[in-house]
Amino acid sequence: MLVLQNTLLLHFYSLQFHFIGENYTHTESKREFSPLCSGSPFVFNQFVSGLKAMSAINATNGEDLARYFLDRSRLSLARGLCDMDEDEEAPTELNTINSSGGFLVVSPDKLSVKYTNVNLHGHDVGVVQGNRPAPVKRLVYYFEIFVKDAGTKGQIAIGFTSENFKMRRQPGWEANSCGYHGDDGNLYRGPGKSDEFGPTYTSGDIVGGGINYASQEYFFTKNGAVVGTAFKEVKGPLFPTIAVHSQNEEVQEFEVQERMKLQMTVDKMSLPTNVSHGLVRSYLQYYGYEDTLHSFDTATKSTVPPIYIAQENGFDEHDIVYALSQRKILRQLIRNGDIDAALGKLREWYPQIVQDDKSATCFLLHCQKFIELIRVGALEEAVKYGRMELAKYFEFPEFDDLVKDCVALLAYQRPHESSVGYLLEETQREVVADTVNAMILSTNPNMKDSQSFLHSYLERLLRQLTACCLERRSLNGDQGEAFHLHSVLDSNKAKC
């Protein structure tokens, strides 16, 4: 087995479609944060408040409830900053250090290799791995090579190897490795394990190797067409070896096909009649989107055939219709920035929610009032208001961070563009409105389940879905995709 002058032009390329935001955090996932997030003050809070949130749930005390929402708002901010935290780093170039030096030349861009030695024996193969193992938290990892010049014997292999692979052997010759060889088209999977697999390949061919984590299989391609698949025995990290490249539509096609297969399986599940309508309706009720709710009801009743959600699905009206109009009015006031009016209405309708001025609800409302003053440029008034209403919260460690951020708004000429500019965004008003909404729901004396006001039905289902996908992945050796609502919304096909 001799390898003569082989020149491979290599590009690392990996399919990265859906890593927008990990919806899930727990203490162990901290190490996964990208460097982008490590400087954020919210990262720490995230873990502390995760614990706080727990205690908030366990207690049915109303005050703790509002803190729970406060914590959630922090978390949502942290999430915003750490959207890419699941983006495992894929191999980007060839590993120039751990390659069989002397036998091949790696080009300065670290994407091409050339084998220069002449006439050596079988143990002197030029092998080079990617600089990182193939990422695992996805449906498929894939890379390609373009064979610029196969050399005189065409002995080229593409495959996957484990970290301590002997760098002078072809992938597939050693245990814990797998390689599709160009000279005979065979697939090698360890000493003495060689099977007829696909066509041979040579100069001018584009050859790809991939891992399908859902089926735990390797797959290889030649010029964009899948040649075959093989079961992946190796559980540990695998490095793409001698390889890699640019975008190839046919191979993207592979992932699309896998996804369609999955989608078809999922589509076969049957849903109760109009369950989506019912969930949308209860969502509108939960958040007090009263006008939308009425339009929706009118519309569903006039369709052919009409849809009578409540009767069909047995949704319990009383739980969430509670105080609907009042919740709607308060949401409107808060979304319009009219915090004084909102506080006034709350004092009138639900004095119990705002009677403790040091409560999280009051705190959020006062902060919002301060933010609204900044928004309209009433700085003097803001300072006065801050001294009067916000200063007292500095004593409380749980409010400390938000107070500081609010006050920091004063420091900037253009607060919108500052690091605390998020406070001026619409989402902050939404957080306050949602907190007030949940607080009012919690005063419902008919509430059977003390936790039912924490989340809408829709949110509970989405949480369940996310948790199921993550749990399944974790039981599957941490391989496979997670579920992210955000990326599902940004894509044209639902994923799991």
Q: Which of residues 304-323 bind other proteins (CB under 8 A)?
A: 304-305, 313-315
54 binds other proteins (CB under 8 A): yes
Q: Check: CB of residue 125 under 8 Å from CB of residue 3.
A: yes
Sign of CA dihedral 359, 361, 367, 372: negative
Q: Which stretch binds other proteins (CB under 8 A): 36-44, 72-80, 94-102, 199-207?
A: 72-80
Rounded to an integer, what distance in angstroms lies between the CA atom of residue 411 and that of residue 295? 45
Cα separation, 103 vs 2, in Å, equals: 12
Binding segment for other proteins (CB under 8 A), chosen from 149-157, 348-356, 413-421, 456-464, is 456-464
User: Looking at 32, 149, 217, 430, which residue binds other proteins (CB under 8 A)?
Assistant: 430
Return the residues of window 473-492 that contact other proteins according to CB under 8 A.
475-476, 483, 485-486, 488-489, 492
Q: Which of 19, 207, 14, 9 is nearest to 92 (CA)?
A: 14
DSSP H or E segment with residue 241: strand 239-241
Pairing of β 157-161 and β 239-241: antiparallel
Site residues (CB under 8 A) for other proteins, limited to 318-347 = 328, 331-332, 335
Asked whether 50 and 25 are in contact (CB, 8 A), the reply is yes
- Say which DSSP state 215 is in: T
- Choosing from 94, 284, 324, 360, the residue that interacts with other proteins (CB under 8 A) is 284
Could you tell me which residues come within 8 angstroms of residue 88 by beta carbon, excluding any fewer than 6 positions away? 19, 135, 136, 137, 138
Nearer to other proteins, 267 or 357 (CB): 267
Please tell me whether residue 264 binds other proteins under the rule CB under 8 A: no
Q: Which residue in the block uniquely carries the two structure tokens 């951020």? A: 405
Q: Among the candidate windows 237-245, 379-387, 411-419, 424-432, which touches other proteins by CB under 8 A? A: 424-432
Kindly indicate which of the ranges 117-125, 269-277, 358-366, 397-405 contains the residues binding other proteins, using the contact rule CB under 8 A.
Answer: 269-277
Q: Which of 31, 108, 271, 306 binds other proteins (CB under 8 A)?
A: 271
Query: Residue 214 CB, nearest distance to other proteins (Å)?
Result: 11
Taking phi over 0 as left and psi of -120 to 50 as alpha, with beta for the rest, 201 belongs to beta
CA distance 429 to 66: 15
CB–CB of 230/188 below 8 Å? no
DSSP 67-83: HHHHHHHHHHHHHHHTT
Provide the minimum distance between the beta carbon of 207 and other proteins in the complex, in angstroms, as a whole number.
33
Comparing CB distances to other proteins, the nearer of 108 and 272 is: 272
Counting contacts by CB under 8 A, is residue 468 touching other proteins?
yes
The answer to whether 348 contacts other proteins (rule: CB under 8 A) is no
Q: Which is nearer to other proteins, 212 or 466 (CB)?
A: 466
Stretch 370-409: interaction string toward other proteins, x if CB under 8 A? ----------------------------------------
Contact with other proteins (CB under 8 A) among 87, 144, 405, 434:
434
Contact 469, 266 (CB under 8 A): no
DSSP calls for 127-152: --BBSSPPP-SSSEEEEEEEEEE-TT
Shortest approach of other proteins to residue 63 CB, angstroms?
18
The residue count for binding other proteins (CB under 8 A) is 78
Identified binder of other proteins from the candidate list 163, 195, 291, 381, rule CB under 8 A: 291
Residue 228 Cβ vs other proteins, minimum distance, rounded to whole Å: 26
Does 48 sit near other proteins (CB under 8 A)?
no
Give the strand pairing for 239-241 and 194-196. unpaired
Window 3-42: contact mask with other proteins (x via CB under 8 A): --------------------xxxx----------------
Structural contact between residues 496 and 483, judged by C-beta atoms closer than 8 angstroms: yes
Of 272 and 351, which CB lies nearer to other proteins in the complex structure? 272
